[in-house]
Structure 1
Amino acid sequence: MAALTGRDLLTLADLTADELQELLQLAAQLKSGELNIRCNKVLGLLFYKASTRTRVSFSVAMYQLGGQVIDLNPNVTQVSRGEPVEDTARVLDRYLDILAIRTFEQQQLETFAHYAQIPVINALTDLGHPCQILADLLTIQECFGRLSDLTLTYLGDGNNVAHSLLLGCAMVGMNVRIATPSEYKPDSTIVEKSRAIAANKIEITITEDPVTAAKDADILYTDVWASMGQESEASARIPLFQPYQINEELLSIAKKQAIVLHCLPAHRGEEITHEVMEGSQSRIWDQAENRMHAQKALLASLLGAD
């Protein structure tokens, strides 16, 4: 995908719909072994937030491409002592070939991208989680053989995952319903951007009713009710979010062949029950694996193969 070489991925909206579909096709080819791309470059991981799947999947993907990974733990770099973002960005630009950043504010990510000439990837911010949705779409495509003419229902907090799902589903022609308590709806700017991308070709619904949202859905999706940095709010959120739990009762009103997704880590017994997570309709572990394949395709495309 030469068109992506040298570019940043700060949000899914940085891609065209065709580029997104081509990335998913490349990820599928890499996963199946049909293609074997070599990319002897250096990836830096600058993570201000804890991570399991994102850290390990990016690292393994880069190693499998033949490259190297440097874990730039903020606690042991000058970042922890207040070095300005623009200074760190310009220095890392001289050492690395590509940089994945996991942080809180989207603006910090955009500042890095402005001052660094190498590709910068959003590995999660409070506004979006584009790499997660690449894996989600790959998983859905594997399960249904298509992405269009399906309905995905997301239940819970209108957070970064919900934002990126709105954009991703709009780009691939998938109906998307976001069901949240009234005070936890997704950002209205993201909703409007998604509707503009969809151009009235699909259904984009924001609702407070989890039952209506789940009815006849092809995919039920959830995330933790309190994201990183919101832990102090967890106990207050639980009663509000309880009706949005994915359990066997809610799953029973989705389509018979519906699948269940969760971006992990999960709080079993809160946003999803143990029975559903371990049930026959769960595709959560395939979804987690696909982080590696989707990100391998993304790294190869942004860097260009050797």
Structure 2
Amino acid sequence: MFSTLRYVNQPALSSAAKNFMKNGVAKRGMSIAALNGFEGKHFISIDQLSNEELRGLLDLSKKYRDTYGKASTVDPITAPKPLTGQSVSMIFQKRSTRTRVSTETGMTLLGGQSLFLGPSDIQLGVNESMRDTALVLSRFNSLVLARVFSHNDVLELSKHATVPVINALSDLHHPLQTLADLMALEDHFGDVKGKTLAWVGDGNNVLHDLMLGGAKLGMNIRVATPEGYEANEGILETTKKLAAENGTEDVFLTTVASEAVKGSDVVVTDTWVSMGQEEEYEQRVKEFDGYQVNANLMGQANPGAVFLHCLPRHREEVSDEVFYSPQSLVFPEAENRMWTVMAVMAAQLGKL
């Protein structure tokens, strides 16, 4: 018997959030219907989604949480199993806690099966090409999820696979994380349109999709990165275009953390040293001096501002005082990784 899930460190919902969620339930069927054309599509980056598809995935994620999560009265054993008979192969070039556990557990809740394929489990990149791997796995599985180093690898998989591919992380994009982040923000604030999101840290894959998704939902984007650690220029330009299309401010860029945080409603950071960058640790920590999200920095944000971090975290990135505070949405954010990957898989298979 599965136990129902419980949030950890979940701040109380504002009245605006409660109203947004109440109205959202009423409109959810219409927004989820926008995913009817998503069947068979790859999920590679947030900018490939239409605004309607992004809205649909967020609302489907909330529907699954209502069905299988902490507030549900449905027995997980007898709950709907729309992915019965389906399977996902999970290619992991990089280790993970949240991605693996959320996908395996979420697929089980939906009635399907997942297969973990680590670096020593298959021939990928050793005796077998990405193209051949894609073609073989497509014969066995309904979906292919890939957590890789190079974005070119996930593009190669999606080019040759005959089943939908999910980018579970590459060096350029992390779209599943953005869905979880946006869901956490809507749970807290309600409608996030007009809210200001500040990024403090490395201009990396997590920032890339969060910028894109935030702009699509009408959020103002402010980014602080040290010199030499700026976000990808092409993705910045796409974000600016989306900001203009959705009536938000132009993207604000700075090298001073406090300048980005001032007037923000959300402060986000991530690891400064990703997997594969361990030899750069000392240099990076030195160059990110002044970027720790602590009480002083959070104090420069708007009253009621919240904090996000996709985990795993290190104390040089964020102080315990902030990380474990009522301002932190880190653990609800982490839980949302399951509801959102469930939504993506179901939508790709047309099993809503």
The TM-score with structure 1 as length reference comes to 0.97
1:42–1:69 CA contact under 8 A, matched in 2 = yes
1:154 to 196, 199, 202: 199
- 1:268-293 superposed Cα distances (whole Å, 9 cap, x missing partner): 2x110111111111110000000001
2:64 corresponds in structure 1 to 30
Q: Which secondary structure does the structure 1 equivalent of 2:146 belong to?
A: strand
Q: In the alignment, what sits opposite 2:271?
A: 224
Letter in 2 for 1:267: H
State whether structure 2 residue 282 is matched by structure 1 residue 282: no
Q: 2 CA distance for matches of 1:13 and 1:194?
A: 9
> Residue 19 in 1 paired to residue 53 in 2?
yes
State how far apart, in whole Å, the 2-side matches of 1:156 and 1:117 are.
37
Tell me which amino acid in the other structure corresponds to 2:348: L
Is 1:8 aligned to 2:55, yes or no? no
Residue of 117, 122, 130 corresponding to 2:175: 130
Deviation digits for residues 167-223 of structure 1, max 9, x if unmatched? Answer: 111111111111010110101000001111222621211211111111121111100
Question: 2:337 pairs with 271, 280, 291, which one?
Answer: 291
Partner of residue 314, structure 2: 267
Note if contact 1:30-1:36 (Cα within 8 Å) is conserved in structure 2: no
Deviates more, 1:240-249 or 1:200-209: 200-209
CA distance in 1, matches of 2:186, 2:201: 23
For residue 252 of structure 1, what is the aligned residue in structure 2? Answer: 299
What displacement does 1:86 show?
Answer: 0.6
Aligned length: 305
- Higher helix share goes to which structure? 1
In the alignment, which residue of structure 2 is the partner of 1:176? Answer: 221
CA RMSD, 1 decimal: 1.4
Structure 1 unmatched runs, 5+: none
Q: State which of 85, 90, 94 in structure 2 corresponds to 1:45.
A: 90
Aligned-pair identity (%): 39
- In the TM superposition, residue 239 of structure 1 has moved relative to its aligned partner by 1.8
- Long gaps (5+) in structure 2: 1-34, 73-78
Give me the whole-angstrom Cα distance separating, in 1, the residues matched to 2:341 and 2:295. Answer: 32
Paired amino acid for 2:344: L
Question: What is the Cα deviation at residue 76 of structure 1?
Answer: 2.1
Q: TM-score scaled to structure 2, two decimals?
A: 0.84
In structure 1, the residue matched to 2:130 is 85
Secondary structure, aligned partner of 2:169? coil
2:32 alignment counterpart: none
Is the contact made by 1:39 and 1:67 (CA closer than 8 Å) also made in structure 2?
A: yes
1:82, CA displacement in angstroms? 2.8
User: 1:66: which partner in 2?
Assistant: 111
